[in-house]
Every structure is written in structure tokens, then in C-alpha cells.
Structure 1
Amino acid sequence: MDRLEKAILCTIHLIPGLGNRSLWKILDEFGSFQNFFQADKKTLYTSFLKTEIIDKLLEKRKMSPEIVMEEYRSHDIEIVTWDESLYPQSLRNISNPPMILYYRGDIRVTEQICLAVVGSRAASVYGRNVARKLAREMAESGIVIVSGMARGIDSEAHRGALEAGKTIAILGSGLNVIYPPENRKLFQEITASGIVISEFPLNNHPEPVNFPLRNRIISGLCRGVVVVEGKEKSGALITADFALEQGRDVFAVPGPINSKTSVGPNNLIKQGAILVTGIDDILEEYYDINRTPGTLRQDRLLLLDDNEKMVLEQLVHESLHFDELIQICGLEIGTLSTALFKLEFAGIIKSLPGNYYVRI
């Protein structure tokens, strides 16, 4: 997207009531935002858009799109559109991908391994402690933590991540409207090493309708979503629903059965979410994540006997058949079977159809 096209997109995006789906429809119907911006009145008023939207568009025509871009620059806000290489790859294939993203920080952080930690605004002390601890430990393993910078679980997740690594905040407002206001310092800390992102333009306030839209981006950026606390109907569960729709993993931290904020994650576990009692329950799902020396998988590797180590050394690059392993390792059938069983039970290898084995 060239400079003028982007400037016009940013200008029309300021029109209240013109959301992401409408932007995609405009592009489809008019071919470009420049064509839309310069179309004659008859064409505009007979388009799919409401009359009040067109009225506001005609007002916007009186201002230069470059003035809008200058206002974004004055707030140190950068902009990326769906057709640019810096646009997060993980968002390209989700339903209703954001046409445009506004951000402060390092956009390249979105291409790292990301997991979301979300939960209740009215979090308990237990929930806050768990969220912060899990986020910190995941960050120590090189995972970027994504959340919504809301009060409660979100804020604790960001703070835990910042103690050991990087984090991404997705806002439900424009980047110049920090919400909640007490998180202004947290906002600055996140942008210093990670990134704060919004699909909402300048001066857009945190309306209730914005947060479900924000939640699809939180889950879309991630491999999985960890729900720490949440009521039966909450934003955290909306994020979990988006994660399932997008093919992401859903994790849930169990809580006391007499707590309203435990109903959400406890129900998710009943429905098949991965139960989380510690970071190992998360790391075991992702075998390409760098693990810190104290993690469970490395501890298990240290406990392997000589036969198990020998077998594992052969499974570095590709899957091998049971008979191939017998020939390479020179082990008896029973000895090899025992070694393979122990390695698979430890979650280090897995068996494939046809009696093949592969390291994971």
C-alpha cells in the first residue's frame, strides 16, 4: 500500500461507525481507498454504506490525509496494513483479520512464539499470583506473553512477562486513550521492550463493543490461550472461543469451586481444555520452545539410562522404523522395546503408524 493510499485509509478510519468489515467491503467494491475517497456523491450514496457515514466522509474530504498521518506521528504511533510484510503473519488467516493496525514498539515481536494469558478484571490474590508466575516462567523460556492490559489478570501477566522477557498488549481503544488510566506506566514499560497494538484509530474510547474485537487479535497472535480466572460469561471465555475457532490451544487454570471467577476455567477444563497446574503443563505442548535448565523435559533427559540415550541419539533428524533401530543400536528386541516405551512415556518421542518412532 503506497503512502497516499495508507493516509486515505487512516483518514476514513476516523469516521465513527466505519469498522473493519466495512473497510474490507470498501476495498472490494471500490478497488482502492483512494477510489472510494474520490468517488462522486451519487456513487457514494448508492453504495452499501449508510447515509450518515457518507455525510461524514464528505466532511473528511475537506482535510488533507497528510495532516492525519502527522497527528499519528506526533503520538509516536506507527501503522501497518494487511498487505505489508511487517503485518503479523499469524493474523492473516483468521476470520475478519484487521485491515490496519496501529502500534507503538517493535512489531517484529509478533513473529516470536506467543501465548496469551487472560482472565478476570476482578481477580483474586490467587489468580493474580498465578498469572504473574506463569507469565514470568513462560517469558524465561522465550515465550512472548500477549494480553489485553486490563485490570486484574491481564496486568499481572504483563508485569510477570516484563520481569523476564517481552510482552504484547492489545488495546480496546485508540493508542492515545490508555485504559485503564492507572496502567499508563505499564503501557510505557511494554512499549520499551515489546509492543502495544490496537486496530482502533486515534481518540477511540474503550467502548464495550471493542473488547470482543480486541480478543480475536489476542488469540490470533498466539499458539494458545491460558485462562486463569473468569466468570461463566466473561471476556476471557470469549477469547477462548476465538482461540478454538482459530485452531489455537486452550489452557485453563483450575480454581476453588466456590469462587465465581473459577467457573469459567473450571468449565473449560470439563469441555477439554488443557489443565494447567504449572508451566510444565504448557511447555509440554510445544516442543520447539527453548527451555530453561530447570524445566521438566530437561530434568527427564538427565534421568535417561545408556540404552535410552543411544536410541534418542538416532532419532535426531528423522523418524526411524523399529527394525532400523535394532540394526543401528544393536539392542535386543526386548531391550529396545523397553527403551522406546520409557522415552514415549516421558514425552520425548512418539510412535507413528507402521512401527516408526520420532523425536518430539
Structure 2
Amino acid sequence: MERFYLAALLAVPKLKQNTVRRLLGSMKSAEAVWKAPMKELATFMTENEQTALMNFRNKKAGLPEKIANDVEARGIKVYTEESSEYPSILKEIAQPPMILFCRGTLVSDVQRIAMVGSRKATAYGRHAAEELSAELAASGLTVVSGAARGIDTFSHKGAMKTGRTVAVLGCGIDVTYPPENEELLCEIAENGAVISEYPPGTPPNQGFFPARNRIISGLSMGTVVVEAAEHSGSLITAEMALSEGRDVFAVPGSIYSPMSAGTNRLIQQGAKLVRSGRDVLSEYPAFSAAPEGKTSYAEEGLPQGLSHDEKKIYELLSHDEARTADEIIYALHGSGAANVAFLLLQMELRGLVEEDENHAYTRRIKEA
């Protein structure tokens, strides 16, 4: 039960992790801290922390038992810093989480790379994230991200095509956020790991996400920022990686795109520019890149089997800038206008292009 008393202590609002460590050093166990009279704990805590702990224990005296029951009922694993499954690289950061809840299999000492970016990802960012993560996972690296909308989601999806991925949540391990990623999180748990430092049932909180970011960067040898605006939260993850002496990489973007302002600035400040997975893997000789040939999606050739009209349409499309059927017809100067919608549908069914929520089209990245 010791792990569950620790989880209960860490769930107390306003009770800092450093304070919990001091209390454990004095009282020797989380159970002793949870059950001790407040006067025995007062010298190790601020007045606000004393009040927070007292009120929390009064309201949730049975919380350790509840966490234990929830964990058992849902098949959730619980790791502390003493557990063999706890990643050793995570212990190196300034504030390692004292507890981790896990669905799936967290392999302690594999090599990992973090991939982060904007929730409001462009077509360019989504394609870049999916392709890069697939290439990195195929090399043997485990891709770590935060299961958020946008870049995180596509980083996980790409990694699962060729290897393993880990999702780090800013809520309880059994809470799906964002809601549309429920199926994705189940797939990650089956083929990798979903982890959180928060007890089951903990709802997402804005203050939890910066704390989650330290785990994403802390698990990883380096962090790739795929797409980020000037003040994106992804830049916080990059700063955390730098503060821990880890590598930082960034995918360049258009100087006209506000969604690439943050990544372009990172490159200005010394982050390594990434055009393909090979640029990341060159920093880690133990991992092999894909065979020489295609070095970035910008250099991708035309698919085989395109008709004359399909080829003209495909050449107008890219991975980053979506075009509507009307824009394609205009670019073709009206040539074959009647067939464009039909040809786009046929190409979409063959997996060559994809349509977004605005009914605009981009090239679809190739399956790894």
C-alpha cells in the first residue's frame, strides 16, 4: 500500500513535491506521513501546505485505498523511483516524478526521442510529424509525445506504423483527453505505453501540462519540435530539454507561417535543423537510418500508375499547402474541370491524397 499512500500525498493541492520528499525523509514512509498528527509534520511544511494537507485528509481519508482499488480494477501498473521499470534517464532531471501510473509496457532503458508541436497543426506539420516519427521509430527509437491534438497525435500515429511510442498525459491515466483520442490511446497502450504521474480519475488541468512536458523531455535523449508558434507551449518542452543537457531539433517552416515562427526561432538559436529522420539519427550512431535514397519528403517522386490527368493534379499538390478542387481547376486553367472532383476521389481512395475538414487536398504521406 505504500505506493498508494504516496500517490495520495502527491494529489494534495498546494503540497509541493519537494515537501513530500522532506516528509518522507523524516517519517520514513508515505503511510506514516498520511496518518501522522499535523503537529508532527508542521516543521516540514508551510502554513498553506499544512492547511491543504489537513483539509484534504479530512475530506479524502480513504483515498489511498480508492487508488489501490482503481488500479487493480483497471489493470494499471504503478512505478516509483525504486521500481526496476522506472526509466533511469528520468531520474536525471531536476524534478523526476515520484510515481508513474502506466497502461501498457514501459521499457525502462530503451532509447527515446520526444516529438512535440502545435495543437493547431497545419497540413505541413501533420505530414512532417507522421513521416518523421515513422522513420525514427523504424530505426529503433521509441517516440515520446503528449497525446494532444495536432502534432502529438500524428507523431504517435506515425510511430505506431513502424515501432513503439509512449504517451505522457496531463490527467489521470484512465481519463481520455482530448476525447477524440480514446481509440489512439488504447492502441498506444497495446503497442507501447501510456503514462501519467496523476492518480486515476484526475481530470485535465491547465497547470498539469507544463509539468507533463518535463516528463516528455526527461524520458528522451532529444526533443524534436515539429511546428510551433512564437509562444507555443512546445517551446517550454524544448527549454526543459536544454536545461537538462538534452538535444533539441526543429523542423523549419515557411517564414510567412505563424505556426512555424517558434521552430524557425529555435533554429536561429542553435537547434539542429531537421529535414528528415536522418538528420536526427546522425546524432545517435547506434541507430540506423533508412537506406540512402529518399532523404526528405520534399524530394519524393511521383507515385506509379498515375494517369495523365492525375499526374497534373498530383503535381499541383504538396504535403504542406492544401488546395480545394476549385483552386486546382483554376491552376489547370479550366482544363479537365469536369473530371477534377472525380479524379480527386479516385486518388483519395487509392491513398494518394487526403481531404481535410475544409474540403481541401494535400498529398498523403506514404505508409512506412
TM-score category of the 2 structures, normalised to the smaller one: 0.7 to 0.9
> Which amino acid in the other structure matches residue 222 of structure 1?
S
1:82-104 superposed Cα distances (whole Å, 9 cap, x missing partner): 11221110111101110001110
SS at match of 1:255: coil
Gaps of 5+ in 1: 298-360
Bigger drift between 89-98 and 9-18 goes to: 9-18
- Distance of 1:88 and 1:245 partners within structure 2: 19
Q: Match for residue 240 of structure 1? A: 238
Helix, strand or coil for the counterpart of 2:162? Answer: coil
- Alignment partner, residue 284 of structure 2: 286
TM-superposed CA distance for 1:22, in Å, is: 3.4
Please state how far the C-alpha of 1:45 moved relative to its aligned partner: 4.9
The 8 Å contact of residues 45 and 54 in structure 1, kept in 2 or not, is answered as: no
Tell whether 2:24 aligns with 1:27.
yes
Instruction: Please state if 1:101 is matched with 2:100.
Output: yes
Aligned to 2:306: none
Of the three residues 180, 193, 196, the one matched with 1:195 is 193
Moved more, 117-126 or 36-45: 36-45
The aligned counterpart of 1:56 is 56
Contact 1:10 1:69 in 2 (8 A): no
Show the 5 A alignment for 1:85-124: 85-108=84-107, 110-124=108-122
What is the identity, as a one-letter code, of the residue corresponding to 1:276?
Answer: V
C-alpha distance in 2, partners of 1:17/1:259? 40
Matches within 5 A, 1:258-273: 258-273=256-271
| 2:40 maps to which of 40, 43, 49 | 43
How many aligned residue pairs are there? 292
| Residue 42 of structure 1, CA deviation | 2.3
Q: 1:41 offset after TM fit, Å?
A: 3.4
Instruction: For residue 18 of structure 1, give the secondary structure of its aligned residue in structure 2.
Output: coil
Give the match for residue 252 of structure 2: 254
User: Does structure 1 retain, via aligned residues, the 8 Å contact 2:13–2:52?
Assistant: no
Matches within 5 A, 1:177-192: 177-192=175-190
Deviations 1:252-280 (A, max 9, x none): 00000111111111000000000011121
Code of the aligned partner of 2:183: K
Identify the residue that residue 222 of structure 1 maps to in structure 2. Answer: 220
Q: CA shift at 1:161, angstroms?
A: 0.4
Helix, strand or coil at the partner of 1:101? strand
Partner of 2:4: 7
**What residue is the counterpart of 1:207 in the other structure?**
205
Tell me, yes or no, if the aligned pair for 1:176 and 1:203 is still in contact at 8 Å. yes
Distance in 1 (alpha carbons) for counterparts of 2:14 and 2:75? 25
Quick check: 2:281–2:288 contact (8 Å CA) kept in 1? no
> Is the 8 Å Cα contact of residues 280 and 296 (structure 1) preserved in structure 2?
no
TM-score by length of 2: 0.75
Amino acid at match of 1:84: S
Q: Which runs of 5+ in 2 are unaligned?
A: 296-368
Aligned to 2:127: 129
Q: Which moved more, 1:68-77 or 1:207-216?
A: 68-77
Q: Name the residue aligned to 1:16.
A: 13
Aligned residue number for residue 275 of structure 1: 273
Q: CA deviation at 1:296?
A: 8.9
* Letter in structure 1 aligned against 2:57: L
Q: Is the 8 A contact 1:45 1:51 kept in 2?
A: no
What is the CA distance between 1:295 and its match in structure 2? 7.1
Q: Which amino acid aligns with 1:228?
A: V
Distance 1:67 1:127, change over 3 A: closer
Query: Structure 2 CA distance, aligned partners of 1:203 and 1:26?
Result: 25
Partner secondary structure for residue 280 of structure 2: helix
Aligned residue number for residue 345 of structure 2:
none
In 1, Cα distance between equivalents of 2:166 and 2:219: 10
Q: For residues 295 and 214 of structure 1, what CA distance do their matches in structure 2 show?
A: 37
- Tell me, yes or no, if the aligned pair for 2:113 and 2:224 is still in contact at 8 Å: yes
Structure possessing the higher relative contact order (Cα contacts under 8 Å, 6 or more residues apart): 2
Query: What is the Cα deviation at residue 12 of structure 1?
Result: 2.9
Matches of 2:293 and 2:88, distance apart in 1: 29
> Contact (CA 8 Å) 1:118, 1:227: kept in 2 or not?
yes
| Distance in structure 2 (CA, Å) of the matches to 1:64 and 1:243 | 34
Letter in 1 for 2:231: K
TM-score, with structure 1 as normaliser: 0.77
1:29 Cα deviation after fit:
3.7
Structure 2 CA distance, aligned partners of 1:295 and 1:21?
Answer: 51
Confirm or deny: 8 A CA contact 1:254 1:276 kept in the other structure: yes
Cα distance in structure 2, aligned partners of 1:29 and 1:205:
31
Q: In structure 2, what residue type is equivalent to 1:57?
A: R
* One-letter amino acid of the structure 2 residue matched with residue 56 of structure 1: F
Distance 1:261 1:27 in 2: 45
User: How far did 1:21 drift?
Assistant: 3.3
